Structure 1
Amino acid sequence: MSVDLGMPRRRIDRNIVDEAGRLRLEKLLRASVSGDVEFGAGTRAVYASDSSNYRQVPLGVVFPRDESDVIAAVEAAREVGAAIVSRGGGTGLAGQTCNVALVIDYSRHMNKILELNVEERWVRVQPGIVLDDLRAVTEQHDLTFAPDPATHAYCTIGGMVGNNSCGTHSVYAGKTVDNVESLRVLTYDGHLMDVGQVSEDEFISLARTPGRTGEIYGQLNEIRDEYAATVRAEFPDIPRRVSGYNLDSLLEADGPHIARALVGTESTCVVVTEAKLKLVAWPPYRRLVVFGFEDIFAAADRAPDFRRMRGILGIEGVDEQLTLYMRRRNMHLASLNKLPAGKGWVLAEFGAFDEAEVDAMVDEAVAAAPGSPSVLVCRTPAEQKAMWLVRESALGATARPPGDEPLSEGWEDAAVPPERLGEYLRRITALWEEFGYHGCWYGHLGDGCMHTRSNFDTATDEGLAAYRRYLEKAAALVGELGGSMSGEHGDGQGRAELWPLMFSPKLMQGFKEFKRAWDPQSRMNPGKLIDPFPLDSNLKHGPDRPHNPLTSTTFFFGDEGFSLQDAADRCVGVGRCRRTDTGTMCPSYRVTLDERHSTRGRAKLFQEMFRGETTEATWRNEDVKEALDLCLSCKGCKTDCPTNVDMATFKSEFLSHYYKRRLRPREAYALGMIRYSSKLASKVPALANGVLRSPVGKLMRKAGGVTTERDAPVFARETLRAWLKKQSLGAVGEDVVLWVDTFTNFLGPEAGRAATEVLQAAGGRVLVPSKDVCCGRPLYDYGMLDLAKKNLIKSMAALAPYVDSGTPIVVLEPSCLATFRDELLGLFPDDDRAKRLSELVCSLPEWLAHRWETEDGGARHVVAQLPSIVEDRKDDPAPEHEGGPSDGTSSMVETSPEPESGNRPKVLLQVHCHQNANGGHSSDVEVLKAIGYDVRVLDSGCCGLAGSFGFNAKHAPLSKQIAEDRLIPMLDAEPDAIVVADGFSCQTQIRQLAGRDTKTIAELVAEAFDSSVTG
């Protein structure tokens, strides 16, 4: 069978609404919908693309609050003839959630559980609920909604119903279609109905009912009768058939299941307002076993064997190339290093309701493992979670591999019979070689559905022609093997054009009739499945994409050089920035649930700005400026984003151009230039503090755009630098520089004093730069890059002697440390001094945890010595003791085992966002444990203050909401714990909003030394 794929490349839509009609639609919606209606250029730009290769600018977006809003929205669209597309998390990979249509986004408001029946094991939900939010409730009762794609933390149930999503545990309980009981749906012509499974008699009766219900059921009955034999003959009998409409659901033994027939229709038939889902028992005892094979092909050959294992819940595959990509990006190295020998791995999860039983299952599986693979058993939840991250991070790891071309979707989730999976992988790999493509394999090995991304060229006509030929051959291969072109992601625009390679003309006619029964006007997501747009039209990065970098940038963006346009393209729309349960990014999105205030939304706005079609191609772009206004510059995206989009740097770069030769807002000078006002205030701190707290001070703050809803910081009576000048810092020990940053110097010198004592006690000879310089950290938030560069040049000059001698430089404020590791290299990419300086700076815990070489070729590990240092100081006469021998050769002392955590004081560690993005907190935990604390690292995300962000009067309410989202509840749950925060912003936010005292790590270590002396 063949199909003509020779249609020309172009932009195509089936929009029949002109600009006047679009404006009329907006007016109708604002008059009839209680939810949010957003038709501005910024929102339209953000919703122009999803996670796929495709781009179509919508007419506008509506965010309904309830079903009545949905009905009103559809009625308004119908009045002007506008098409409709439903959208949840926007993580579609085939272009199914972008169209020239009215977008209905349920995720902002219609995201609730409506009813939970534990006894009967079902739940009724709104379509916008995030899968993990649902499971967090149901799993309290050992029940779960089984389908769980890798996007489970941010995909929505509505999107899963639309795509017929699957995920890791489809081996255990099937696809979404197998777990839907009923749906409440609305047709384009305004007919609201509940659909589910009906008996044969009910089906016939409904087909004879007068009105629209009878019309729909009558047509479904005709479709069933006409196409039953063809469906049975042509539908592949495999675990992961997602391509095509589910006409087989009309043939179920217990009667036609209308709801399941609508699953996977990708918004082309109806609007879903509610879903009743089946819940399955969720085994509380689970184990993960990793089997290593010589390659992924050998692993795939064993897929049927793994499916037969007792207690199997999930069977995932990972190939060596994926691990190489991850190693290039330093992702999950600890887990990668634990993988058993091999170049292709199977991650097999087992579960039971009895711990002894699941261990027995594991023993059986290891003993009977096919092909004599190497084996690793992960027994604890922490071990399992860490290993699963290797699989779940695959899409992000492969999208933008360092030193390689970007890899994109297009042919990424075909499914075949599990017994033919090895053959499929080998033949597709050979096809890669034929076309000059490459990729890697990961995914649902047990279900015969392995994912991949390849280096497709869609930017040239020649590349597109090759891409078409490749897809035709790949689709023909899948058809030959009895598979499905989509095994999870849906077909959308990306593969629907290829359906004739899988289905006969008769069955294609059946699909058309099924859509016509529900959507006779063809206004539901037109061009995406039936009569689809050509797969090489409407491309986001096609040959017709404008390339308009505007101008060179101040920052160097790594692989993308000085091009912010190319750097913005790092965002491939994965959507992880929309998750609200863990990690740091994106703090503003967690509160607003506004796509424009997610990392993805902002990146898409940059992409659209450079196109200059939906929003203006200028550095003075107001849509981009508005979206960046709520960016906290927390840098959470730099590490949390799978493709490492660094929005904080994008923001700095953009604002530097936006305000070029223009005055900045008043708060930019009041807060961005705090270094200079602090120097002045430090000369008369008592007067400065008094004025700031007086009515006059409040007026001054208000005039400067600074909030008066929170207390102003208190300037220290004596700066750290002044205190250090009075100290005798010693003449022996290992040289170490203490960087005196603005925040510690003027506002929190206690941490600096404690750090000085600790450095000396641990054997350091403390050196302080003679010049009072600053890295300029607050300047970046307002795009003051020229001034920031001047500050860094002065800082490099002041530190030059120490850099030349290779002396470590301890930086106490995490945001300043991040500046030396990040912005310094971005602004001076070719400066060897900058590179050496970035390598020498470290936090106090990192310095303590470092292995220092000794003169005799040995090493001393300061953290390991901390307990002995503390013990030794009991005999010391004064707390200013400098520590071990002057030659730095003190031996490591054997210490007793750590006491049980229940006997140790508890510490809640709030890690600064910039620290998470530039170095992490492992040394912090190591040091705190060494001096006797039970440490819990708070997964609280950004504190919300974020330097000057929370002091900005416009942002103060949002800053508070961010803190109240996760941080404050976590602190309230542990009222007796010690709160540790090294970041001045975090300390301030916690004291002001949670009413809790904070300690720095330096202070706790110093107290440990002091208590040893006094004890």
Structure 2
Amino acid sequence: MPQPQKSEEFVRTTLNPGALEADLRYQVEGEVRFDTASRALYATDASNYRQIPIGVVVPKSVAAVVKTLEICRRHGAPIVSRGGGTGLCGQTCNLAVVIDHSKYLNRILELDQKNRYARVEPGVILDHLRDQAENYHLTFGPDPATHNYNTFGGMIGNNSCGIHSVMAGRTVDNILELDVVTYDGIRMKVGPTNEEELQAIINEGGRRGEIYRGMRDIRDRYGDLIRSRYPKIPRRVSGYNLDDLLPENGFHVARALVGTEGTCVTVLEAKIRLIHSPPARSILLLGYPDIFAAGDHIPDILAFEPVGLEGLDDLLIKLARKKGLHTHDLALLPEGNGWLLAEFGGDSKEESNQKARRAMDELKKVKNPPSMKLFTDEREEKKIWEIRESGLGATANVPGMTLSWPGWEDAAVDPARIGNYLREFRKLLDDHRLAASLYGHFGDGCIHCRISFDVFSHEGIRNYMAFIHKASDLVVKYGGSFSAEHGDGQSKAIFLGKMYGDELVEAFRQFKTLWDPEWKMNPGKVIDPYLPDQNLRLGTGYNPWQPLTHFQFPRDEGSFPRATLRCVGVGKCRRTHDAFMCPSFLATREEKHTTRGRAHLLFEMFRGDFIKDGWRSREVLEALEFCLSCKACKSDCPVNVDMATYKAEFLSHYYRRRLRPLPAYSMGLIGIWGRIGARMPGMANFLSHAPFLRTITKALGGIAQERTMPRFADETFTDWYRRTRKQPGKGRPVVIYPDLFNDCFFPEILKAALEVLEHYGCSVRILPAPPTVRPPIDYGMLDHAKREILKAVELLSPYVRQGMPVIFLEPSSAAVFRDELPELMPQHQDGQRLTQLTFLFSEFMEREQFAPPKLSGKAVFHGHCHQKAVLRIDDARQMLKKMELEVQEPQPGCCGMAGSFGFEKGKYEISMKIAEAALLPSIRKAGLPAYIVADGFSCRMQIMGGAGRKALHTAELLQLALKREKGARS
């Protein structure tokens, strides 16, 4: 019986999970989680596979990892190590105890500039090290597209590569030493071993000596076969690195363990090689008639020694355009239907430019030269790399197209043979009626593609299996490797015999057995694997519950369960710096607080065979508790997962016929209480600010005692307008939507907007005290929210039917009509008109090309999350730039307040942790001369409460500039 089935049978019939959990909780320094939610969170990764783990351990120390292994062995429980959980071949999900190294074991232990090495724990994120190393113009060469959130443990497990492997090689080529532990508790440091050292270790005997003796025997028995059968290409990643045991390669045990995908040892620490990082880079883009012609040209480009050489085809660009990704940046591409992106490095910009120009000069001489475009501006270079790195996002979940999946996404051949290989590969795709964009690390011969496999039906899965069998034959024909950086896992491992022959597969089996005699380390992956169509996340058994919903999910075939399939598990929401999403993960480092984690739990809820409570699921509710509804995921996630919408929909059903938490009534219904308070501002302010009374008021409303409540203005803007204005002036007719927050608390902002618009010749209409639409959505009060939205649409219908722009001062309110309204009522004609005519103040200013007045000085600008995610933040930036202000944007993501989130009891601490990441320190550092600019009500409250500074709305900033300009003229 194959090993995975044996392991599975033991776990299901013999293992006592309760006793295992008790022992782990009692003895391990860390977090032990055997609850349903945690197991569901770790059931899948970025692959097609799903296996519910036994439990999860998040160790706080290296000693805790060793103790976890000891206890698991005593109980006979398999284990699987996990970093960022971005595996594409199923290697980080298993019926095992998952050890998550990423939360605590993430220290850079040493960075030796002189000797060019670093020591890292397995949970260190690659970019954390690279950012430090760049201070010395050093870097860790391999850099996958996931470089800003993947971990070294995962890179070592998969033998990852990346864009700059042309310059630096694979992960295995950059590993100096590993500190590892075996399933039976043997801890050792491994690295290169000369013959004297090897003999000494063997002579010592014991378990370590037994392992080394076995490896020596494998080397001696299979050495010639290894030399003859291993593909001689830059990206041979499939299989085990037995070639590193050869004498000519230094019997390098650490490198032999790289790429074993957790099937042999658990890595506790790595000593890694750092290389020179050319501080200056220049990009040369080359356009060809098609991607095949681009592939033919790879050897010619490699002759100029680029530090990176990438390829991308016309389908990738078409899909990016269809999804609205980098639409402005795509114009940077030179003429063609296939492109090569060659990056040149130098110690100065002159040197890197010179290398690129030399390549251009030589390429002009060839027959049928490519179109060429040299980029020397760093901003444009960054945009070009973003186009390339958007490959997964562009090719997954394209509207109107079949879903695409991994399964044959990173095969590699000799770079000199790419053109012909791609021609045959394209024909194979066509023969199986499959579509895929072709892109990747062409300089190393690695081709990436997500393919339109049908993983739902019996026939589709048969076609998938037939295709990958033929694809493996094609790779072998070209002397290539099935995997070039993602590993084998269970999706490609069954084909290793084709590539290496049965004898070397037996050598792999012996190597694994040496390290893991009990076959408990990630069983069923790489060696004696599950079949590619086993453990499918979807498959023919996938039949999700399809409930009626408030949101119509028009981009997802009208189905909430279908919307949860948007998440492909790539894990961009796990970024920890320079990140828009996910703010709660930035504060907690918890998988359940990522967009991915929440989407996976919703997927499990609709699947219904593990999380079985449907809309009553506590697991989903707890995961959504710290979702700030910031909408960052809708724009920042490569596949546009919209967790704010999913949360609102879930809460609407979870609390149906149930009492809600207090904040839902105090702040979700602020549209009611706010208008009442605005009629008697003195009494309202007394209740919310007087000593003792404010404590009671906050307690009754479920509001954090640390928060200061906003004060009601003495007179609302709408009352002031009715009192002072009889009719609109002449000019371009527009409507201002006086949202409750500005109308009742900050009427000076609406007055400023009115003054500025009239200055530019607009005839302004004011909607009298319109409905408050955002808060009830955030609390899932969707019946109430829809009624309020319909009231607003009815009030605005006479204006939008005349094509009159509706101007909002509050981004969260504008986002409702631009984003939620089409999702809730996609067929509503006046609603469609309103969506098209909804503008933020800054958007309208830019649309009309009103030239703003100049204002000297510095400004700290913080955009509202909805402004960044679903509106047009660039218009506000452009306006500030035209004002000639020196602008700083300290925090790419949320301020932490997120509407009423930061006001809620129990959420103050996480709210402030998010704000203190960058925003509040930058404001304190900026000092009094700088203008603080924020259009969002909640953002201004967070800034006032956390930094003691009053932030200006852009309308107020323009009003101030106009007054100064007028004063200067007079």
User: TM range, normalised to the smaller chain?
Assistant: over 0.9
Secondary structure of the corresponding residue to residue 277 of structure 1: strand
Please tell me the residue identity of whatever aligns with 1:120.
N
Structure 1 residues 381 and 173, CA gap change in structure 2 (3 angstroms): same
Query: What does 1:623-634 align with in structure 2 at a 5 Å threshold?
Result: 623-634=619-630
Secondary structure of the corresponding residue to residue 193 of structure 1: strand
Q: Which residue of 2 aligns with 1:3?
A: none
Distance 1:23 1:706 in 2: 39
Secondary structure of the corresponding residue to residue 493 of structure 1: coil
Q: Which one of 305, 310, 320 corresponds to residue 300 of structure 2?
A: 305
What's the offset of the Cα at 1:251? Answer: 1.2
Contact 1:682 1:715 in 2 (8 A): yes
What's the offset of the Cα at 1:972? Answer: 3.4
Contact 2:282 2:349 in 1 (8 A): no
What's the offset of the Cα at 1:11? Answer: 13
Distance 1:34 1:504 in 2: 44
Q: Which residue of 1 aligns with 2:212?
A: 217
Q: Which one of 370, 387, 394 corresponds to residue 391 of structure 2?
A: 394
Please tell me the residue identity of whatever aligns with 2:621.
K
Distance 2:284 2:552 in 1: 43
Q: Which one of 731, 737, 760 corresponds to residue 729 of structure 2?
A: 731
Q: Which residue of 2 aligns with 1:670?
A: 666
Distance 1:775 1:562 in 2: 27
Say whether 1:642 aligns with 2:595. no
Please tell me the residue identity of whatever aligns with 2:178.
L
Contact 1:309 1:365 in 2 (8 A): yes
Judge which range, 690-699 or 779-788, deviates more.
Answer: 690-699
Q: Which one of 857, 866, 880 corresponds to residue 914 of structure 1?
A: 866
Q: Which residue of 1 aligns with 2:764?
A: 766
Once the two structures are superposed, residues 913-960 of structure 1 have per-residue CA deviations (whole angstroms, 9 ceiling, x without a partner) of 011111221111222223332223334310000011011102111111
Q: Which one of 777, 783, 786 corresponds to residue 783 of structure 2?
A: 786
Q: Which residue of 1 aligns with 2:592?
A: 596
Distance 2:451 2:696 in 1: 59
Q: Which one of 68, 91, 100 corresponds to residue 73 of structure 1?
A: 68
Q: Which residue of 2 aligns with 1:336?
A: 330
Please tell me the residue identity of whatever aligns with 2:61.
D
Distance 1:272 1:777 in 2: 48
What's the offset of the Cα at 1:443? Answer: 0.6
Contact 1:51 1:92 in 2 (8 A): yes
Please tell me the residue identity of whatever aligns with 1:761.
H
Distance 1:786 1:62 in 2: 41
Distance 1:674 1:222 in 2: 75
Contact 2:737 2:770 in 1 (8 A): no
Contact 1:17 1:82 in 2 (8 A): no
Distance 1:730 1:828 in 2: 32
* Structure 2 residues without counterparts, runs of 5 or longer: none
Distance 1:538 1:14 in 2: 15
Percent identity between the aligned chains? 45
Judge which range, 188-197 or 723-732, deviates more.
Answer: 723-732
What's the offset of the Cα at 1:696? Answer: 1.6
Q: Which one of 14, 17, 41 corresponds to residue 46 of structure 1?
A: 41
In the alignment of these two chains, the number of paired residues is 960
Secondary structure of the corresponding residue to residue 732 of structure 1: coil
Distance 2:26 2:943 in 1: 43
What's the offset of the Cα at 1:10? Answer: 11
Q: Which one of 504, 515, 518 corresponds to residue 515 of structure 2?
A: 518
Q: Which residue of 2 aligns with 1:1010?
A: 963
What's the offset of the Cα at 1:823? Answer: 1.1
Contact 2:149 2:571 in 1 (8 A): yes
Q: Which one of 898, 901, 908 corresponds to residue 956 of structure 1?
A: 908
Say whether 1:364 aligns with 2:364. no
Secondary structure of the corresponding residue to residue 619 of structure 1: helix
Q: Which one of 326, 348, 352 corresponds to residue 342 of structure 2?
A: 348
TM-score using structure 1 length:
0.93
Please tell me the residue identity of whatever aligns with 1:752.
L
Secondary structure of the corresponding residue to residue 822 of structure 1: helix
What's the offset of the Cα at 1:15? Answer: 4.7
Please tell me the residue identity of whatever aligns with 1:44.
R
What's the offset of the Cα at 1:970? Answer: 2.9
Q: Which one of 773, 776, 781 corresponds to residue 776 of structure 1?
A: 773
Say whether 1:544 aligns with 2:541. yes
Distance 1:261 1:971 in 2: 50
TM-score using structure 2 length:
0.97
Structure 1 segments of 4+ aligned residues over 6 angstroms from their partners:
9-12
Secondary structure of the corresponding residue to residue 331 of structure 2: helix
Distance 1:254 1:321 in 2: 42
Q: Which one of 368, 377, 381 corresponds to residue 378 of structure 2?
A: 381
Once the two structures are superposed, residues 194-243 of structure 1 have per-residue CA deviations (whole angstroms, 9 ceiling, x without a partner) of 00011122112212221111000000000000010000000000000000
Distance 1:374 1:938 in 2: 39
Once the two structures are superposed, residues 512-540 of structure 1 have per-residue CA deviations (whole angstroms, 9 ceiling, x without a partner) of 01101100100000000111011100000
Distance 2:761 2:517 in 1: 81
Distance 1:970 1:501 in 2: 58
Secondary structure of the corresponding residue to residue 544 of structure 2: coil
Distance 2:728 2:718 in 1: 16
Secondary structure of the corresponding residue to residue 142 of structure 2: coil
Q: Which residue of 1 aligns with 2:850?
A: 862
Please tell me the residue identity of whatever aligns with 2:841.
L
Distance 2:710 2:94 in 1: 50
Contact 2:662 2:702 in 1 (8 A): yes
Please tell me the residue identity of whatever aligns with 1:184.
D
Contact 1:268 1:515 in 2 (8 A): yes
Contact 1:396 1:574 in 2 (8 A): no
Q: Which one of 161, 166, 169 corresponds to residue 164 of structure 2?
A: 169
Distance 2:879 2:182 in 1: 61
Say whether 1:754 aligns with 2:752. yes
Contact 1:292 1:343 in 2 (8 A): yes
What's the offset of the Cα at 1:12? Answer: 9.4
Distance 2:729 2:108 in 1: 67
Structure 1 residues 86 and 79, CA gap change in structure 2 (3 angstroms): same
Distance 2:915 2:738 in 1: 28
Q: Which one of 441, 447, 450 corresponds to residue 450 of structure 1?
A: 447
Q: Which residue of 1 aligns with 2:494?
A: 497
What's the offset of the Cα at 1:276? Answer: 0.4
Say whether 1:482 aligns with 2:476. no
Contact 2:671 2:772 in 1 (8 A): no
- RMSD of aligned residue pairs (Cα, Å): 1.6
Distance 1:972 1:308 in 2: 52
Please tell me the residue identity of whatever aligns with 1:638.
K
Contact 1:775 1:819 in 2 (8 A): no
Q: Which residue of 1 aligns with 2:238?
A: 243
Contact 2:7 2:78 in 1 (8 A): no
Structure 1 residues 17 and 126, CA gap change in structure 2 (3 angstroms): farther
Once the two structures are superposed, residues 681-727 of structure 1 have per-residue CA deviations (whole angstroms, 9 ceiling, x without a partner) of 11221221122112122112112211111111111111111111133
Query: What does 1:14-163 align with in structure 2 at a 5 Å threshold?
Result: 15-16=10-11, 18=13, 21-163=16-158
Contact 2:687 2:697 in 1 (8 A): no
Secondary structure of the corresponding residue to residue 438 of structure 1: coil
Distance 2:596 2:685 in 1: 41
Q: Which residue of 1 aligns with 2:831?
A: 834
Distance 1:148 1:308 in 2: 22
Distance 2:460 2:481 in 1: 25
Say whether 1:993 aligns with 2:909. no
Once the two structures are superposed, residues 289-322 of structure 1 have per-residue CA deviations (whole angstroms, 9 ceiling, x without a partner) of 1111111110011111121114x11000011100
What's the offset of the Cα at 1:734? Answer: 0.4
Contact 1:655 1:783 in 2 (8 A): yes
Q: Which residue of 2 aligns with 1:854?
A: none
